[in-house]
Structure 1
Amino acid sequence: MALSAASGAASSKLWRLSNFLMAAFFALAGAVQVNDPDPGFWIVAYAVPAALTLAVSLHPPVAGNILWRSLLDLHLAACVVGSAILGYSLSANARKNILHEEEGRELFGLLIVTVWMSLCRSARKTLGGVHLAVVIFLSFFPFLMWLYIYVNSEMRASWPSHCKTLI
């Protein structure tokens, strides 16, 4: 029984830490949108999940709050619609690797938001096993992708000018 309680406390701390990392990622993703052609849309697209995940990081039971869940559901619906629109645009117009296309990077951003917010919505009080391993991996994945994209000079060469000026 004591071992189970200890593992539950550890998984709870890892869940909170993972949410804190994702809140930081979403905040950074929103911050770099200031020079985008449509910054207001993308700042909100990342600021909402940043606030929601920070709330879960600070107080996990907030995920059961009706206001928190309603905001999350509304944002998820908007992200799914945005992903469908970007996915259609990419399938009709993509000329190269989708990460080389601005719409492809935007789509990946919305997918990261959608997956993480879905995890937050469905997470139980304590996580364990494979679910916890997936959460930990996913909380580091966006940072690894950002690093990969940033150090890949071929990919940076294809960026539009507004993407080259901030970082």
Structure 2
Amino acid sequence: MDVHSGRKLSTSSPPPRFYLVSWRVCNICMAFFFALAAYVQINDPDAGIWAVAYLIPAVLSFLVGLNPPVTDNFIWKHVSLMHMTMCFMVATLWGWYLHRHAKNTIFHEEEGREFLGLVIIIIWMLLCQNSGKYLGGFKISVAGFITVLPFVMWLYYYINKELRASWPEHCKNTI
């Protein structure tokens, strides 16, 4: 209690400015990645499903990048939770399918790349939860790593011609 005003003092201090700026940058970058992932679905046979799967976290991440406390909003929380639940269910099915039927490594299978995309969505949306309340150094470090990871993977796929040789035709014309 503040002796002079009689009000209860807040025990939590705002996160350091560096953490907040880093968190916003990571979210804007991930929003860009998810939007790009939605865009490259254009020539996929099931493009509508995958475009929506990536556009939802793109919008949610963009909103967090603009205003991190948006994660406390009822609509943001429930859309995020529903989307993570759906992604988790599909990722579980794809993981089981790949475990039972994969002929190559996970990176060579289209379902494997879809599985990895869903895992990235789930991890990122979990990381975004309660970002308006807690931004510690560990969370920022993990966010930085996860932000860089999809771009590095995309670059790896792009420069590895042997890996792309086994892709279906609709995947070879992407960025």
Scaled by the length of structure 2, the TM-score of the pair is: 0.89
1:78–1:6 CA distance, 2 compared to 1 (3 A): closer
C-alpha displacement of 1:25 = 0.2
Instruction: Percent identity, please.
Output: 46
Count how many residue pairs are aligned between Structure 1 and Structure 2.
163
Shift of residue 132 of structure 1?
1.3
Q: Given the alignment of the two structures, is residue 81 of structure 1 paired with residue 107 of structure 2, yes or no? A: no
2:4 alignment partner in structure 1 = none
- Give the structure 1 partner of residue 8 of structure 2: none
SS at match of 2:151: helix
Structure with the larger helix share: 1
Alignment of 1:26-37 (within 5 A): 26-37=34-45
CA 1:75–1:7: 2 relative to 1, 3 Å: closer
Measure how far apart 1:128 and its partner are.
2.6
Q: Hey, what's the Cα distance between the residues in 2 that align with 1:124 and 1:166?
A: 36
Q: Give the C-alpha shift of residue 92 in structure 1.
A: 1.3
More RCO (CA 8 Å, sep 6+):
1
What's the Cα RMSD here? 1.5
Q: 1:137-156 maps to which residues of 2 (within 5 A)?
A: 137-156=145-164
Q: CA offsets per residue over residues 84-132 of structure 1, 9 Å max, x none?
A: 1101110111011110000000000000000000000143535232221
CA distance in 2, matches of 1:84, 1:67: 25
Gaps of 5+ in 1: none
Question: Following the alignment from structure 2 to structure 1, what is the Cα–Cα distance between the partners of residues 90 and 72?
Answer: 26
What corresponds to 1:128 in structure 2? 136
User: Greater CA radius of gyration, 1 or 2?
Assistant: 2
CA contact 1:102–1:159 (8 Å) conserved in 2: yes
Of 97-106 and 131-140, more deviation after overlay is shown by: 131-140
**Structure 2: where are the runs of 5+ without partners?**
1-12
Q: Which moved further from structure 2: 126-135 or 82-91?
A: 126-135
Structure-1-length-normalised TM-score: 0.93
The verdict on how the C-alpha distance between 1:6 and 1:49 changes in structure 2, with shifts beyond 3 A counting, is closer
1:101 matched to 2:109? The reply is yes
Partner of 1:45: 53
- Structure 1 residue runs of 4 or more that deviate by more than 6 Å after TM superposition: none
The answer to whether structure 1 residue 62 and structure 2 residue 70 are counterparts is yes
Give the aligned partner of residue 23 of structure 1.
31
Question: In 1, distance between residues paired with 2:17 and 2:89?
Answer: 37
State the match for 1:119 in structure 2. Answer: 127
Deviation at 1:61, TM superposition (A): 1.1
Give the residue type in structure 1 aligned to 2:59: A
Cα pair distance change 1:6/1:85, threshold 3 Å: closer
User: 1:12 touches 1:126 (CA, 8 Å); kept in 2?
Assistant: no
